[in-house]
Every structure is written in structure tokens, then in C-alpha cells.
Amino acid sequence: MKVAVVGATGLVGTKMIEVLRERNFPVSELIPVASEKSVGKEIVYNEKKCKVVGMQTAIDMQPNIALFSAGGSTSLEWAPKFAAAGITVIDNSSAWRMDASKKLVVPEINASELTSIDKIIANPNCSTIQMVVALNPLHKKYNIKRVIVSTYQSVTGTGVKAVTQLMNERNGIKGEMAYPYTIDLNVIPQIDVFLDNGYTKEEMKMVTETKKIMGDDSIRLTATTVRIPVMGGHSESVNIEFANDFDLNEVRTLLQNAPGVMVVDDVKNLKYPMPMDAHNKDEVFVGRIRRDESNPNTLNMWIVSDNLRKGAATNAIQIAEYLVTQKLI
């Protein structure tokens, strides 16, 4: 299986290559792809040196799969060219997520929708992925009416520039800024640009993507997305109103049995999910599971996951694994 990683030198691209190796994906040849300034550099994969190539060269090399993590404009321009050459693209940008002709896939939920004719497959937003993995088994049982989510998102979601800003500030070094404000010892209640309705693009992504992935436009969702000075992963406070009442023990059992979910919920011993514990892991961690005593049929949960792994790289590679297992490529 020849695999191209587009954006191979970025945070997510680097993580994709790491996850391919860890999960023993059947890579016969890795094709690292990046911008012209990186062409010619070498990446070591399974003790073999692989030279970084440009876009057209990658297409000419005819990979079976191309994992894209190079931004929306790059995906809009190049994903159709890869697809036209018969290459299956799994795209991590927002470019194709809400395109009605493209599947938006979290394997634990809707991989079965995929077919051999899907040549551009969208990987959802990181904050959406971890939330829906936890919500899906509960929606099946109790029927979600409304979700209120507040996120606490790692600087790694912005990229290398933001990580550098945080570490520079922590070490008293002046440097390039990824954010309009200091991030160390601060909280910025803005992720992506503001829209006319006063919400950010990140917040509206969570609204629209959740409905598409879960196949239910009746779910009402409102989000506030916040950047915080941590590295290990994204955290979310989620309030879920169901059409039907629930039993807390049954909720915990449903989550414990759900694929990709790890329940960490022992408040007596101060056990709950934290980004530092989710770092470099693929599970979605759920804790602080409790009834909302202010509203009937309503549950509170705390959800944490490594945004570079399950929120990006791992989810994309799980899609690729499904395609291979089902012989769809």
C-alpha cells in the first residue's frame, strides 16, 4: 500500500506518520509531501529515508491513499487532482466536511457509509470528533435533544507557531505570535474567525458537523470554544438533554462498552480525565458523569482526547484501515 502524507512536515502530518508506524498500517512505500520549501528534505520511516516531494510528483507516484493535512486551500486545489488520478484522499482540513457529496467520517459511528467510489473523505474537526464518539452511544439509547458544550483546547490545535509562542512566553522570549494575545497564563475565548452571528467558525463547525456525522438534524447544539495554554489535548464540558430519562449506572456501562471510549470517573479518589493523561493516546476519555439537577433528563460529562491523535491523525488512519479491511481500495 503506497501512502502519501500531504503536509508531512507539519504537526498533524508528523503525527500521521508516527501513527501509521505504531498501528502497523500496511505501508509498502511512504511518500512525504510538502510545500516547495521542504521538497528534498528527508524523513525516516521504518529505518528507510524518504525524500519529501511536491504535489504533482506525488500524484505521478500513484499512491493508493493520500492523507491530507495541509490546510483548506491546498485541499480544495489538490484533493480533486489526486482523486481524478484514482487516489483515495482522506482530508483533515475543513474544505470538504460540509460538502453534501462527501462523507464526514468518525469510524466508530459511520464508517459503514463508505463505498469504493468515495475518493475524497473528510476527517471532522478535532473538537467534534471526541465529542461525538462519546455522544453516539447515548443518542442511540436516550435520543439527544440538545447539547451545550464549552471547550478548553490545546495550543497544538493551532500548530507549531502556537506551540512556539507558548514556550517563548513561558521562557520570557519575544517571538512571532500565533494569537492576537498572550496565551501563557491566559485564556482566549476565540478559536478561528468570528462570523456574523457572533459565533466563531470553530463553534459552528461543532454544530453542523455533529448533525452530519450522527445523521440527525434535529439535534440542537450550541458551543463556546476556548484556547488554553496546555499541550496534551482538548477538554470539553458537555451538557446533554435527552428526550428520555436515563439511569446513571446504565450511562456508565454504555460508555464503557462504546468503541474508542475510556471511562475515568472516580471522584472519591479524584480520578477524572486530564489532557496530560490523554497525551499520545487514541481513546476518548470521559468522566465527571453526573445528572444535571437543574433540568430533567439532562446529563453533564467531561470529555478529553489528544487532538493530534484521535482528533486528527488517528481518526484519518482508522478511516484508511476500514477502507483496506473492507477492500474498498
- pLDDT value of residue 288: 98
Q: Say which residue the cell 524518504 belongs to.
A: 50
The Cα 1–Cα 313 span in angstroms is 18
Domain 127-306: CATH class, spelled out: alpha beta
Element (H, E) at 1: none
Among 3.40.50.720, 3.10.20.30, 3.90.1150.10, 3.40.50.2300, name the CATH number for the domain at 2-124+312-325: 3.40.50.720
What is the residue-averaged pLDDT of the chain?
97
Tens of pLDDT, residue by residue over 29-56, are 999 999 888 899 999 999 899 999 999 9
- pLDDT value of residue 20: 98
Task: Let me know if 234 is a catalytic residue.
Answer: yes
Low pLDDT (below 50) residues in the chain: none
End-to-end, the C-alpha distance of the chain in Å comes to 10
Taking the model in full, what pTM does it have?
Answer: 0.96
- pLDDT value of residue 36: 87
- Of the residues 50, 126, 139, 279, only one is catalytic, namely 126
Q: Say which residue the cell 479524584 belongs to.
A: 270
CB atoms within 10 A of CB 295: 11
Residue 124 has what DSSP assignment? P
Task: Let me know if 139 is a catalytic residue.
Answer: no
- Of the residues 50, 139, 234, 279, only one is catalytic, namely 234
Question: Bridge-partner residues for 31, per DSSP?
Answer: 4
By the 10 Å C-beta count (0-12 exposed, 13-18 middle, 19+ buried), 117 is classed as exposed
CB atoms within 10 A of CB 39: 15
Hey, where are the domains in the chain? Answer: 2-124+312-325, 127-306
